[in-house]
Structures are given as C-alpha cells and as structure tokens.
Amino acid sequence: MSTATVLPNGDGTTTNWQDDSGGTTNLYTRIDEGTASPNDTDYVSTSVQNQNVYFQLGDMPADFGTATGVTIKLRVARTSSKGDFIQFVNCQLMQNDQTTAICAASTITDSTTITTYSYTPSITGATSKTAWDGMRLRVKSGTGTAGSCRIYSAQVEVTYTAVSGKIQRVTALDGLGGVGIRLVNPGLW
C-alpha cells in the first residue's frame, strides 16, 4: 500500500465563508499548509448556519490504482461556547462535481481551542484515479447564531494500491551470433 497526502489547491463553492481578512476568494490559501505545520494566524470562517464550503484538492500520484482508505485531517475551532453558538456539523470528500460522494460524511468534533482532528470515513463511491483527481473537501457549519466556525488547515491522506510498471513490448534481437532483449516503451500501465 502507498499513501498520498493532498492539500487544498483551489476553491469550490464558498458561499457565506470568508478568510480572516474578510475576503471571499482564494480561501484555500488560508488553509493549504497542511496540519503538520499549521499557521494558526490565518483561517476561513462562517457565522451563517448550515453552510457548505468546498475546497479543491490536488490530484492523485501517477501510480494511483485503487483507493483503499482515507483520513481527513482538519484543524478547527469555534469562537463561542455560550448560548446558541454555531458549530461544525460534518466533512466529506466529493468528486469534482461537488455532488457525488466518494466517502461517508464524518461528524466534526470542535471546541473553542484550536485543535487538529482526524476522521477516517468509509469509502462509499468510486475508487479510481479519475474519480479522486481534483476531488473536493466539503465542510459544513451547523445551527446556531453566536460566534463563528473556523478552519485553520486541512489535508487528506489517501491509502491506495499502486499500479506497477509493465513492459509493453519485448523484442528479441538476433544478430552476429548474439541474442539481446530490447524493452520498448516501458512505463506505468
């Protein structure tokens, strides 16, 4: 088994989400450093109930064969714990159409302390490279009217079965009493 770590590299739908400066475009740049080396001074947030935000993730490696497992890592916090505070609901991986689920939704744990959480949802959709290239990470806010939900960093780790290199054609050469083998177009199949 091999593992690929992919980070946000683009925005999907981001309605009612903004960055720490109030901007509404290129939100992924605020959370794209991964959870191993997070920058807790920048983030994306919402104070609006029941809002999805989608982040495009990088493509799978060239040797990606079949997805066998996934871990979603989110570094998050909410800003309030008093009264009717807004909180996170769940996260999920979607194909690049933002509609077709790749895995089950995972309930997000959150608190007022910035914390990294790991989720290992089951794969429920397609497992091919085509389906996983450019997938979207969806994060949803829940109900509540006080405070906001903040995402500080995100990354996705995908365990997969790698395809191996295959010889596409072998040619036996016979010349001057010798025999040799020439490989033509070896590569990943």
* High-pLDDT (> 70) share of the chain, %: 87
Nearest to 36, CA basis, from 5, 3, 82? 5
- Main-chain phi, psi angles of 27, to 5 degrees: -60, -35
pLDDT at 79: 92
pLDDT at 170: 45
pLDDT at 165: 63
Please state which architecture CATH assigns to domain 2-163: Sandwich (2.60)
What gap in Å lies between CA 30 and CA 17, rounded to an integer? 12
Which residue did the predictor score with more confidence, 117 or 83? Answer: 117
What gap in Å lies between CA 135 and CA 144, rounded to an integer? 29
pLDDT at 84: 79
pLDDT at 73: 98
pLDDT at 189: 43
Decide if pLDDT at 169 tops 60: no
What gap in Å lies between CA 2 and CA 7, rounded to an integer? 17
Q: What is the mean pLDDT of residues 141-161?
A: 94
pLDDT at 167: 43
pLDDT at 171: 45
pTM, two decimals, is 0.85
* High-pLDDT (> 90) share of the chain, %: 77
* Mean pLDDT, the chain, whole residue set: 89
Decide if pLDDT at 124 tops 90: yes
